């Protein structure tokens, strides 16, 4: 069993890693203290900064949240820019302004996907403060939405959002015994918690529920990975043909559950690790259904019967009201 699976299945052997988790906690606490005391510098661009992150590792719905925020604020007249570390990409010169034609192998999975979905600029830079300055000064953005980076305290922020899926915080331990980057107490300091599960995760206390909102991932359409053709009869096609589903995201089961809810039956389910670098050997020859995040990596070698599901994050109106209120109050 992988370490990540052990975090979410109450395996007792992870207790052996608790001494390392204690060390991780002490080092993280010292780092945060150094920022508070000014021993480590932090700064902020002229633009307003929104952080979309989490207190645990792995994917859990940050990208749909980022896209939803950018679309909403752009419709209100804000000039939005997206900032990402570019995890998994080979780009070496920063800050780098992502093009919609850039491959995920160069810029990372999420930036490649976001640049295809949005018209606003996407910039990658492992030094978030530098990337934020570039978006603010060079690209004239007045709002910067940072995809991940909750723990990147060198970049000051105006609004913090934590995104969670149904797995919550797993066993509740810090790395490496558990999935947490910071303790559960950190949730008290963020502005909003977004969860994308049917029920509020059990780790959300009564105290936190007042700032917790739900995001529903709404399936919008099936798109052919190779041609871009739209299909409205994937369910019928999957019934008539042998069909496989693959997912290389934080929680592949979430995608497979979505297919089941759409009444699509697949003869083969292929879970892969998050940020998996797909090759043509991973791809079955029959009909294949996948996430949009996986499709941007598979497109160069996709065959004619590969399809991805486009989804939109529907978040209750209160969420956007809170963001706008905060942005309007910041000078």
For the annotated binding site for ATP, the residues are 56-63
Instruction: Supply 64's token pair.
Output: 């749909």
Burial of 164 (0-12, 13-18, 19+ CB in 10 A): buried
CA 319, chain centre distance (Å): 17
- Alpha carbons 109 and 321: distance in angstroms, whole number: 29
- Alpha carbons 65 and 81: distance in angstroms, whole number: 14
Residues at the binding site are 56-63
Q: Count Cβ atoms below 10 Å from residue 241 Cβ, excluding itself.
A: 11
Q: Are strands 122-124 and 192-195 parallel, antiparallel or unpaired?
A: unpaired
**278 to 104, 111, 131, 291, 298: CA distances (angstroms):** 11, 17, 28, 13, 7
170 near 8, Cβ under 8 Å? Answer: yes
Give the residues across from 215 on adjacent strands.
315
Instruction: Please state the φ and ψ torsions of residue 227, each to the nearest 5 degrees.
Output: -100, -20
Instruction: Supply 84's token pair.
Output: 């990402």
* DSSP code for 219: E
């Amino acid at each position: 069993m992988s370490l990540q699976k052990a975090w979410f299945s109450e395996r007792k052997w992870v207790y052996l890693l608790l001494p390392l988790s204690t060390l991780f906690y002490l080092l993280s606490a010292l780092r945060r203290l150094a920022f508070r005391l000014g021993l480590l510098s932090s700064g902020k661009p002229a633009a307003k900064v929104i952080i979309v992150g989490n207190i645990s590792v792995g994917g859990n719905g940050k990208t749909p949240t980022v896209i939803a925020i950018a679309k909403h604020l752009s419709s209100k007249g804000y000039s939005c820019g997206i900032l990402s570390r570019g995890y998994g990409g080979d780009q070496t010169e920063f800050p780098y302004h992502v093009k919609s034609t850039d491959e995920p192998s160069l810029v990372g999975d999420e930036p490649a996907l976001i640049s295809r979905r949005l018209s606003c600029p996407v910039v990658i830079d492992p030094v978030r403060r530098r990337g934020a300055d570039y978006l603010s000064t060079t690209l004239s953005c007045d709002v910067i939405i940072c995809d991940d980076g909750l723990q990147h305290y060198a970049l000051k922020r105006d609004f913090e959002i934590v995104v969670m899926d149904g797995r919550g915080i797993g066993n509740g331990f810090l790395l490496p015994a558990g999935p947490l980057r910071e303790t559960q107490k950190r949730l008290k300091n963020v502005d909003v918690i977004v969860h994308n599960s049917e029920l509020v995760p059990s780790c959300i206390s009564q105290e936190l529920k007042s700032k917790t909102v739900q995001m529903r991932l709404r399936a919008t359409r099936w798109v052919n990975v190779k041609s871009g053709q739209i299909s409205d009869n994937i369910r019928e096609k999957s019934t008539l043909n042998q069909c496989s589903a693959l997912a290389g995201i934080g929680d592949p089961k979430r995608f497979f559950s979505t297919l089941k809810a759409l009444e699509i039956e697949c003869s083969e389910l292929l879970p892969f690790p998050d940020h998996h670098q797909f090759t043509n050997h991973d791809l079955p020859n029959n009909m294949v259904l996948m996430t949009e995040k996986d499709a941007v990596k598979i497109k160069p070698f996709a065959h004619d019967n590969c399809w991805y599901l486009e989804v939109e994050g529907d978040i209750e109106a209160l969420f956007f009201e809170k963001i706008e209120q905060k942005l309007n109050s910041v000078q």
